[in-house]
Structure 1
Amino acid sequence: MDRHHIPRGALLTSNLPQLQNLIKRDPTGYREEFLQQWNHYESIRKIFQSSPDEQAGQFKGLVSFIAQVAQCYPKETKDFPAQMSTLLLENYATLSPDTRKSLVQNLVMLRNKNVITSIDLLKTLFPLLPRTTSSALRSFIRKTILTDIKTANLRTKNHKLNRAVQAMLFGMLERGMEGEVVGDKGKFKANKNADAAVTKQSADEAMWAVVLAKELWKKGVWTDPRTVQIVALGCFHPITKVQSAALHFFLGSENDEGDSDDEDDDDVDVKGLHHKRDINKKTRSGDKKLIKTLKQAKKKRVKKSSEEVTPNFPALQLLNDPQTFGERLYDNLNRYDKRFSLDHKILMMQLLSRVMGAHKLCVLGFYTYVVKYLVYHQLRIPAILAALAESVHSLTPPDAVTPIVRKLASEFVHPGVGPEVIAAGINAIREVCKRQPWCMEEDLLGDLIEYRKSRDKGVLTAGRGLLQLYREVNPGMLKRRERGKEASMNKDKGLMPLAYGHEAAATGGGIEGLELLEDHWEKMRAEKEGEDGEVEEDGDAGWEGWEEGSEDSDSDSESEGWVNVSDDGDDLVISDSEDEIDKKKAKGKGKKVETEADAVAEDKDMEVDSEEKPQEEEKPVKFSTLATTKILTPADFALLNDLRIKAATEAVEAGGGTATKRKLAALEANKKSQSASGALADGFISEYDILGPRKKAKADYEERMASIAKGREGREKFGSNKGKKKKDAPSSSTNREKKRNKPIMMIMQSGAVRGKKKASLRDKQKKLRAHIDKAKKAGH
């Protein structure tokens, strides 16, 4: 039959792409043809549900066609998305991989055409993640979920979608919380009547819930406390793999198994790649693939070495009820101590210690638990010591930490161990005492600081660090000859450390260096006033109507909303407050009783000084009132830190002592830590702080080659200056240079070589004599 005589309906139904194009142009005109294909789809769908192997290709074609034109006939295709979703969720195991992929792609297409909502799509995709065995399809589903949520929150936060998705993730986690923790081998023991497949599916769902929550937090899409609660719930999941993924989220590391699902391994066998290249067929495409693989491996290796693992400080601060979280974490650690591996227990210790340090919690059972690991031959002991030090803070009872300090001193600091062990022990004690100075005993401190005279550099540095710490925090515990000049002067002035439970802010310490910020703003205000004749307040925009709290208002004037407390004008005499009484009591702690002769000598010296020198009036200490009149922003605190660094630098250049240099180094380190982690996380320490300075390890091949390449920068390339490459006026190569590249067979047939072979003995002697004479003239 001729093509021109075929009926239009038969022609269009046999060519679905052409019909799809025509329907998009004129939906009303081709409605009958669409209904014909829709009826065909309904009949095939019923057959396909009973036997998916039959007519799979035709079914996929019809599904793709209807998904393309579904927005043109919303009334007729209102049940189409639900049918696709039901088919995927109920018959997923019996569908072929191509059919699964086609159905998922068509559902995503319906979402892109706004036929279905994001919630409808995600309700289908979330259950598919733990059931999918294809890595390509799993990667596509994961990428689709993340992209859809990110796009929905691009301009403004889509709270409705976020709450719905977060509820799904909570449900995925809570379905497996009834199981029993077994250990690190991935086993899961649930109720006896539970199905093994259902149990494994719930474990996979929990893992994907944690991974998706972490990805959305990392991309900045979700930064609310509900996201942190999802991952915090994963820390108590019976599956150890889920626990590990959740613990790594708070610790800031990304080396867990969930995040590297679709990524290649970082460790690439370079020698194996070269060997494979040598034995396989040499092709240009193979060379390109090898070069590309080596470049990617090098880039990953450099990135991994340059990145510093910083704790997720914002997530730690958003924890809901951190005290309960810390206690539950300790209960899991203590109860399942025999079931967890050492690496997993160290992860739990690190998170527990950082939560305790960030929120100043007291989980006293942790110090009893960690004592059994404080031996120098314990595996990964630097990480355990770092976690122990991070858990201590100013509100930790000294009685709970003193046995820990004694244990560290008895196990790590004695002549029977190596110098690196002694250095690690003293450094750990210093980090603990830095956070709670009152846990140290005076006799033990005197023995430990004697190690500052050691011949080993690491031990010497550790001993000096401990001595310097107590010169600053509590010089009364040191002998008079060990206190140093500045500490002795402060002690004579009555400047004593605060007692346990007292904070510097509560005793009027304020914000250190705030007067620098106030002086800086006054200088800028004066410059603007000199230029424009007007005074403009920096940072006061949007705060009109709050003049009552400004520092320009007179104290005698009465404004609305303020009440004068005392109008009689009598001076208020304040007796010793409780803080001052505690200070006086703290003076005697850790202080040796001086002899009566020393006290009499000091009194005589004071009398002589008072007679010789006139008493000078003490200069009033300037206190900034800026913190009471202005809300400081993070930019203001960054500027304050820069001003403090500038002032400390000027003090060092003016001839400041070691204390000034240490203050400058501490300020610069604090600024570096804030820029790296984005938060104030200076209370967290690493294993290198425990190990201390060590001898430089031997450089590997890559480090040596990098050092060689760095030394060659800016230097001329090796080689002769002859020829056209290094001349001002380029020229061709010489005949002598061309001889070097001639084949050996051509040289063997040359006249010069033949002449040497045929030369007589007399000719050879003449040439040798001429060569000797020439060498003598040249001075050789």
Structure 2
Amino acid sequence: MARHNNQLPDNLPQLQNLIKRDPASYKDEFLLQYRHYQCMLDVFRLHPSEFNKSLDDLVMFIAQVSHCYPDVLSNYPQELVDILQTHFSILDSAMRMTLCRALILLRNKNLLTPTDLLSLFFHLLRCQDKALRKFLETHIITDIKNMNAKHKNARLNMTLQNFMFSMLKDSNSKAAKMSLAIMIELYKKNVWNDAKTVNVIATACFSKFTKVMVAALKFFLGSDPEDEKKSDDSDSDNEVSTKEVLMANRVNKKTRKREKQLKKVKQLVKKSQKKKGAPSPFNFSALHLVHDPQGLAEKLFQQLEKTNERFEVKIMTLDVVSRLIGLHQLFLLNYYPYIQRFMQPHQREVTKILQFAAQASHELVPPDVLEPVLKTLVNNFVTERNSADVIAIGLNAVREICNRCPLVMSEDLLRDLAQYKNYKERSVMMAARSLIHLYRTSMPELLHKKDRGRPTEASIELKSKKYGEVDAKDYIPGAEVLLQNGTEGTSGCGQDDDGSSDDEWIDISHSSEGDAEENISTQEEVFDRLEDDQKCDHGADDENEEEDGDKDMVEGTNSAREGARGPMNKIQQAVQASQMRLLTDEDFRKIDAARLSKEVTALKRGKKRPAEEEASSKRELVSLADIENIYKKRRHDKEARQESVKRGQVGREKFGFQDRRLNAHSSKTNREKRKTKNYMMLKHKARGKLKRSFKEKQIALRNHLLRLKKMK
């Protein structure tokens, strides 16, 4: 008797399950379906633009079980590739998506080489199907990432990079844009983060398609602010939905569906918190990997002068050119007169223009080239006819330019700008003082004597460099403190009589990050140790002078000691300490402590920020906040003001009447008791406090005199 529940010829999912379990037993059923597929394929080739449901199901069925019969399906992948290559532009969108999914299944089963599939998918990026292009982009990125997960496949990467380089020059703008987006995403995922990828993307900056050019410029500028804003908005939406789900799960009936939904929401919250706690992805290494930064900057600037693009595109181009000039210290002298034309307070995005001018400044730019830019900036911004905010922004921009090229400032101009330190507006005053502080630590001789501050050991050792001069040291500055403190055994309390040191190896223990805090001593302890060593040195010198009775010998030792304090001898000691042995972390901590002690020597007040730290904090790129930073008293709402008032009342006596009786149990006066009584009880007494007229005063005085007369 035949089984009526056997529906294998028509039930493809059931047949697919059985074939995966036992391929040999169901080979005949599979061959039947495969012959049916070939017949349907012949019919489809006659009308490729029509959707065929039966063929669509058979394609996915065969792709799912293709690994079970590799000998029968040896030509199956190539058939699908030929269909897509020949009819990709006229295929139905659903049918085209099915064929692509089938090829991805074959690729995952290693029945299709990655180069053949990826080259086909790059070819399909020309389709007028946005959903398909997005799907292909995701697969291409994932597939290339998986292929390079364990080790870099250099040959495959080179082949694909060459193919994508040709795709950037494609006549189809969508294909070129998608190829560039794939390369940028692979670079961000650290899959293709080599110099070749960066330089291929750099060629896209000169694309004839504006969208491709803008995408390449944004890549070199870092993250997109609009994308960050969208992500912030999405995070806030997620937070709202999270609160709604939590409240609904608390009130509504407990079901499995709501439990699963709550679990997903908790995972989403955990993911968003992890994302917020992650550091900001500020990575500018792409600009460092450009092979020919001078040529790239010149070509971009030439394109900028000839282009008729929107103002936003010009701003991005100016930003990239300024970053290239600043990072690689390039010479592009035509850039400065061009950007000088936009330095007007009413100019659109003027703060960014000032930022670009500061980014394009470096020590190798001739001062006479930057001097017109600085004068234009001062004449247009730092004038009394402008508002305080405009003057402060102008002074901040001057400071950022002079921070990278100090020689551009003249003595007369600096002294004029320094006069704004007494300006009535706080924002202008603070901007002028920051400019003064910059030149205190770099070229104090340009300032007026009253603006130079109290001289310190560090300021005395400052040496003004001329244009093009490089101060390269072959020793560690400040290492002479190791010899002075007896670290090398040549001086200090533990010094031998002959001044010799033991040439012994010192074991250097490499501390891990966990115990780094235990090994680091505070600066105050190091300063105390330095003071003790100096006292010990002076004590040893006094003993030597007492033992030596010869006056000439004493004078000779004193002169030698004074000579040892000279700058040349300190340099010799630093060279000796740097070249004698490998320095440990403790040695570098002593050097840093000695450097900080120089900053506060001859000062009663400690400096908030040492000069060398100020100089070493020069970033490669100029922050827009440094120029727009205006010191103002921020406006506070009522809640903030109340919190500030409450913080100020902590530890302060309560305002109002205070009971200052020595004995708390003693009685109070009638005047004190009156303060707690009801007003109606004191109304008749309060009436007497009203101002009396002159007639009433006469009557009261007469009555008083009459009472006195009667008493007599």
2:467 is matched by which residue type in structure 1? Y
Cα distance per residue 1:599-618 (max 9 Å; x no partner): xxxxxxxxxxx9xx968122
Higher mean C-alpha displacement, 146-155 vs 364-373: 146-155
Is 1:241 aligned to 2:208, yes or no?
Answer: no
Q: What is the correspondence of 1:698-709 to structure 2 with a 5 Å cutoff?
A: 698=635
* Residue 401 (structure 1) aligns with: 370
In the alignment, which residue of structure 2 is the partner of 1:623? 574
Say which is worse superposed, 403-412 or 660-669, in terms of deviation: 660-669
Structure-2 residue corresponding to 1:56? 52
1:319 counterpart SS class: coil
AA at the equivalent of 1:425: G
Give the structure 1 partner of residue 33 of structure 2.
37
Is the 8 Å Cα contact of residues 16 and 65 (structure 1) preserved in structure 2? yes
Contact 2:456 2:598 in 1 (8 A): no
The alpha carbon displacement at 1:57 in A equals 1.8
Q: Deviations over 1:175-223 (max 9, x none)?
A: 24xxxxxxxxxxxxxxxxxxxxxxxxx2112222222122112112222
Between the aligned partners of 1:34 and 1:216, the Cα distance in structure 2 is 40
Kept in 2: contact 1:393–1:435 (CA 8 A): yes
Q: Is the 8 A contact 2:362 2:404 kept in 1?
A: yes
Correspondent of 1:156 among 142, 151, 157: 151
Asked if 2 retains the 8 angstrom alpha-carbon contact of 1:518 and 1:624, the reply is: no
What's the CA shift for 1:461?
Answer: 1.4
Which one of the candidate residues 393, 397, 410 is aligned to 2:379?
Answer: 410
One-letter amino acid of the counterpart of residue 118, structure 2:
L
- Distance, in Å, in 1 between the alignment partners of 2:349 and 2:415 is 29
380-389 vs 241-250, greater mean Cα deviation:
241-250
- Cα separation, 2, equivalents of 1:66 and 1:363: 62
Task: Quickly say closer, same or farther: Cα 1:625–1:63, change in 2 above 3 A.
Answer: farther
* 8 Å contact from structure 1 (residues 71, 113) kept in 2: yes
1:1-54 Cα shifts (integer Å, max 9, x gaps): 832798xxxx65444344434444554555444333322212211211322476
1:511-555 deviations in whole A, cap 9, x for unaligned?
A: 5567899999x89xxxxxxxxx9855678xxxxxxxxxxxxxxxx
* Equivalent in the alignment of 2:112: 116
Q: Is the 8 A contact 1:251 1:350 kept in 2?
A: yes
Counterpart contact for 1:210–1:230, Cα < 8 Å: no
Change (3 A) 1:171 1:657: farther
Partner of 2:160: 165
3-state DSSP of counterpart to 1:447: helix
TM-score by length of 1: 0.63
Determine the structure 2 residue equivalent to 1:754.
Answer: none
Which amino acid counterpart does residue 446 of structure 1 have in structure 2? R
Give the distance between the partners of 1:120 and 1:260, measured in 2 at CA: 39
Within 5 A, what are the aligned runs for 1:436-451?
Answer: 436-451=405-420
Alignment of 1:289-688 (within 5 A): 310=282, 312-336=283-307, 339-486=308-455, 496-505=463-472, 508=473, 536=507, 616-619=562-565, 620-621=569-570, 622-623=573-574, 660-663=607-610, 666=613, 670=617, 682-688=619-625
Q: CA deviation at 1:445?
A: 1.6
Percent sequence identity is 34
Given the alignment, which residue of 602, 626, 630 partners 1:689?
626
Q: CA separation of 1:218/1:323 partners in 2, compared to 1, >3 Å: closer, same or farther?
A: same
Q: Distance in 2 between matches of 1:364 and 1:393?
A: 12
**Residue 221 of structure 1, aligned match among 165, 180, 191:** 191
Shift in Å, 1:346: 1.8
**Secondary structure in structure 2 of the residue aligned to 1:333:** helix
CA displacement, residues 235-277 of structure 1 (integer Å, 9 cap, x when unaligned):
22222222222222222223467x999x896497899999x99
Amino acid paired to 1:691: E
Aligned equivalent of 1:105, options 93, 101, 106: 101
Rounded to whole Å, the distance in 2 between the matches of 1:689 and 1:250 is 21
Instruction: Tell me how far 1:55 sits from its aligned partner.
Output: 6.9
Is the Cα contact below 8 Å between 1:648 and 1:660 reproduced in 2? no
Q: Which has the larger radius of gyration?
A: 2
Secondary structure at the aligned position of 1:662 is classed as coil
Contact 2:359 2:621 in 1 (8 A): yes
CA–CA distance in 1 between the matches of 2:480 and 2:286?
32
Shift of 1:412: 0.5
Question: Per-residue deviation at 1:691?
Answer: 2.2
1:383·1:686 contact (CA, 8 Å) conserved in 2? no
Q: Distance in 1 between matches of 2:176 and 2:588?
A: 43
Distance 1:519 1:61 in 2: 86
* CA displacement at 1:627 relative to structure 2: 8.2
Which deviates further from its counterpart, 47-56 or 34-43?
A: 47-56
Residue 419 of structure 1: CA displacement? 0.9
CA contact (8 A) 1:235 1:243 kept: yes
Partner of 2:2: 2
Contact conserved, 2:600 with 2:606, CA < 8 A, in 1?
no
Q: Please give the per-residue CA displacement for 1:53-83, whole angstroms capped at 9, x wherever unaligned.
A: 7672211221122212222333432222222
- Does residue 76 of structure 1 match 2:64? no
Amino acid aligned to 1:46: D
Q: CA deviation at 1:454?
A: 1.1
1:95 aligns with 2:41: no
Q: CA deviation at 1:645?
A: 6.4
Q: Name the SS of the counterpart of 2:157 in structure 1.
A: helix
Q: Distance in 2 between matches of 1:454 and 1:500?
A: 33
SS at match of 1:429: helix
Structure 1 residue 294, shift from structure 2 partner: 14
Give 5+ residue unaligned stretches, structure 2: 246-250, 489-503, 511-554, 648-676, 682-712
Q: Secondary structure at the match of 1:349?
A: helix
- Asked whether the equivalents of residues 458 and 599 of structure 2 are also in contact (C-alpha less than 8 Å), the reply is no
Give the distance between the partners of 2:232 and 2:87, measured in 1 at CA. Answer: 32
> What amino acid is the match of 2:391?
I
